[in-house]
Amino acid sequence: EGIREVMSAIAHFPGTVDHILSEYTRVTTEGGRLSDVLSGYIDPDDGITPPAAEVPPPIDAKAAKADDDSEDDDAEASDDEEEAESGPDPVIAAQRFGAVADQMEITRKALKKHGRHNKAAVAELLALADLFMPIKLVPKQFEALVERVRSALDRLRQQERAIMQLCVRDARMPRADFLRQFPGNEVDESWSDALAKGKSKYAEAIGRVQPDIIRCQQKLTALETETGLTIAEIKDINRRMSIG
């Protein structure tokens, strides 16, 4: 259940679903292996049985010794056969990824027409997540998506820390004041101006570091533009990932 929740959160981060669809297209058109992208599905009760590892029968030691020469001769062919049998079913994968691709296109149109916060767009994003989250990606693919999301949060946190240092360390703004006033104003460049024009003891000092504060906020604005998400949305997706 935890992996499903993480996948659902990841699906809401722009570019992640497109990346996996591209990886699927690559392996199916360029002679790759489906097992380079996914290992199965996380919803075995929906009528689609996930691939299961074969469990060999108990081995008789004497029989095994007698068959050693024969097994050595056939080892390469057996390995290839086992790999083909244990990999994801290409027909089921085509159905799964086809459904995700179709919903991705519907979602993209809804986002373009209505914006991310419209009820219709939210519903399509949820529908996309419902189709995407049962796919059990291989660790390499899964970790790449997680890193993409976490990288955005790391960049966000870096600028928030820089702004806090400017206010608390350099301008002597009480930490409690900063933690109370800054949330929700991450990209509001008028926030520091209001502080600088206020009557607090640190108002003048805030004025001196205001250009640096604004530069940090502009980097946060650039991050919002790049990801298509607000600061709050980036944090929420990461929070949901952590819970999962």
The β-bridge relationship of strands 135-137 and 38-41 is: antiparallel
Question: How many alpha carbons fall within 13 Å on the CB side of residue 104?
Answer: 18
27 or 69: whose pLDDT is higher? 27
pTM given for the model = 0.77
Render pLDDT for 179-198 as a digit per residue (tens, 0 to 9): 999 999 999 999 999 999 99
Which of 20-29, 61-70, 199-208 has the weakest average pLDDT? 61-70
pLDDT computed for residue 2 by the predictor = 81
Q: Does CATH place domain 2-137 in 3.30.420.40?
A: no
The predicted pLDDT at position 59 comes to 45
Radius of gyration, alpha carbons of the chain = 26
The DSSP H or E segment spanning 55 is: none
**For 23-54, how does the pLDDT look when each residue is reduced to its tens digit (9 = 90+)?**
999 999 998 899 999 999 986 444 444 444 44
pLDDT band at 1 (very low <50, low <70, confident <90, very high): low
